[in-house]
């Protein structure tokens, strides 16, 4: 290889380099929604293929087009890995002109994608991840947190348990952002009500044998063993607690985040009596029943609160695009902040400047097998926690955006 040849190559390269910088940023002709979720992993039953169907339903119900352009849908599996998720999000935004990303179950994923998307001025509507950080210290102008957060979850559940005599708490916590965040806010509620935390142990995400942790919890003398985890982790922990007879010997389990799919997986026999907080239950109002039935027909399973949230968020986004007359993120975000969201999922919801969408939450109880009248008749709504009690007040939020 000779030198002049190399020089020539380098020169070509330099030329192309210049050319590429000039030709940048074509505008796109459609509105594209991306569902970024866990299609086959630990949380797939919560927000997996079902949430893609929910987004499809929202687009269909909206009429399939907005501003005279067809609405497109992309979906991808983030495999519970923040790096995979952010490289997909990056590609979607850079290359595929995705305008809004919804889903993102798993807080590590949620935070990574929200951070990346807000650098690139793209709206994210987080329906799956729970960490309160999303609207607190790591809040973003373009990041919306839609379904639930770790502040809202313990309010109903912990209050109910402490009032029933569960004063001493032991935590089994999923060892990442979400788990720690959930443990912290639950402990706060417990202490405020006069309870105490007697211990905690961190279990890796995706643990399949909780017996050692359960044993520590059991010998701690706690009244309540709180599971600050989600999805299959919760299911495994509850199942193994029964296997070791922990519940039979009087200690109570508190699932701090339980989904309908978890109850289904556990079965009523094991799950009966479990109380938890949820943002949605299909059998609550006429409207929720009607939508859920349609979802059931398509997906074969009743929607989790996250599936319902994906539908609601997608629909709200499309309405905002229409009202704003553009898919430009700043205009759409302003519209989302001004409008009232009303559907089967939320009544008079509005999105705060920090991205939070406060709405009513429900304390539910798993029915006994004898009370259940059908394969999906699993829960009973015990009480409603009004939005202003469930979620942190905007003036207490630590989101730096609010100071501006």
Q: Is 280 a binder of other proteins (CB under 8 A)?
A: no
Residue 363 host element (H or E)? strand 361-366
Instruction: Report d(CA 150, CA 391) in Å as an integer.
Output: 9
Nearer to other proteins, 3 or 95 (CB): 95
Q: Is 4 a binder of other proteins (CB under 8 A)?
A: no
Q: Which alpha helices (DSSP H) does 106-206 contain, by range? A: 107-119, 152-163, 177-192
Report whether 105 contacts 77 (CB < 8 A).
no
Token pair 């009370």 in the structure block, residue = 371
Q: What are phi and psi of 334, to 5 degrees?
A: -60, -40
Residue 227 host element (H or E)? strand 224-228
Q: What are phi and psi of 145, to 5 degrees?
A: -115, 115
Q: Is 129 a binder of other proteins (CB under 8 A)?
A: no
Among 30, 67, 73, 87, binds other proteins (CB under 8 A): 87
Q: Is 141 a binder of other proteins (CB under 8 A)?
A: no
Nearer to other proteins, 30 or 211 (CB): 211
Among 25, 26, 249, 269, binds other proteins (CB under 8 A): 249
Among 91, 167, 184, 299, binds other proteins (CB under 8 A): 91
| 75-83, 189-197, 342-350, 387-395 -> range binding other proteins (CB under 8 A) | 75-83
| Closest to 229 in 3D by CA, of 250, 258, 252 | 258
Q: Is 40 a binder of other proteins (CB under 8 A)?
A: yes
Among 7, 137, 164, 219, binds other proteins (CB under 8 A): 219
Q: How many CB atoms lie within 10 A of CB 157?
A: 27
**Beta bridge partner(s), residue 385:** 361
Q: What are phi and psi of 277, to 5 degrees?
A: -110, 135
Shortest separation between residue 90's beta carbon and other proteins, angstroms: 6
Q: Give contact residues for other proteins (rule: CB under 8 A).
A: 1, 6, 9, 12-13, 16-17, 19-21, 39-45, 76-77, 81-84, 86-87, 90-91, 94-95, 107-108, 111-112, 115-116, 175-177, 201-206, 208-209, 211-213, 215-216, 219, 231-232, 236, 239, 243-245, 249, 265
């Amino acid at each position: 290889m000779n030198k002049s040849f190399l020089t020539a190559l380098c020169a070509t390269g330099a030329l192309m380099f210049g050319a590429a910088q000039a030709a940048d940023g074509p505008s796109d002709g459609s509105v594209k929604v991306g569902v970024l979720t866990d299609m086959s992993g630990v949380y797939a039953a919560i927000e997996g293929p079902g949430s893609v169907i929910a987004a499809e339903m929202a687009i269909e119900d909206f009429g399939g087009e907005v501003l005279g352009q067809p609405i497109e849908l992309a979906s991808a599996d983030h495999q519970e890995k923040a790096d995979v998720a952010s490289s997909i999000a990056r590609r979607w935004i850079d290359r595929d002109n995705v305008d809004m990303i919804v889903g993102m179950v798993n807080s590590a994923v949620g935070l990574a994608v929200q951070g990346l998307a807000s650098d690139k001025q793209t709206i994210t509507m987080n329906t799956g991840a729970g960490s309160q950080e999303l609207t607190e210290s790591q809040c973003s102008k373009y990041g919306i947190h839609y379904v639930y957060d770790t502040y809202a979850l313990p309010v109903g559940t912990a209050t109910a348990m402490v009032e029933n005599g569960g004063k001493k708490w032991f935590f089994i916590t999923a060892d990442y952002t979400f788990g720690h965040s959930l443990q912290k806010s639950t402990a706060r509620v417990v202490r405020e009500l006069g309870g105490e935390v007697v211990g905690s142990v961190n279990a890796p995400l995706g643990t399949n044998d909780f017996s050692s942790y359960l044993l520590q919890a059991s010998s701690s003398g706690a009244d309540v063993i709180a599971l600050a985890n989600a999805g299959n982790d919760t299911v495994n922990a509850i199942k193994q607690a029964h296997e070791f007879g922990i519940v039979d010997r009087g200690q109570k389990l508190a699932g701090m985040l339980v989904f309908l799919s978890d109850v289904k997986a556990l079965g009523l026999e094991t799950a009966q009596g479990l109380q938890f907080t949820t943002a949605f239950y299909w059998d609550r109002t006429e409207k929720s029943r009607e939508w859920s039935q349609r979802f059931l027909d398509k997906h074969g399973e009743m929607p989790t609160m996250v599936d319902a949230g994906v539908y609601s968020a997608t629909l709200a986004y499309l309405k905002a695009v229409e009202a704003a007359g553009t898919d430009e993120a700043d205009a759409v975000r302003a519209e989302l902040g001004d409008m009232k969201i009303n559907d089967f999922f939320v009544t008079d919801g509005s999105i705060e400047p920090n991205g939070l969408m406060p709405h009513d939450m429900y304390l539910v109880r798993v029915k006994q097998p004898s009370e259940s009248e059908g394969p999906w008749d699993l829960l009973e709504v015990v009480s409603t926690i009004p939005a202003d009690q469930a979620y942190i007040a905007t003036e207490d939020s630590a989101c730096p955006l609010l100071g501006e």
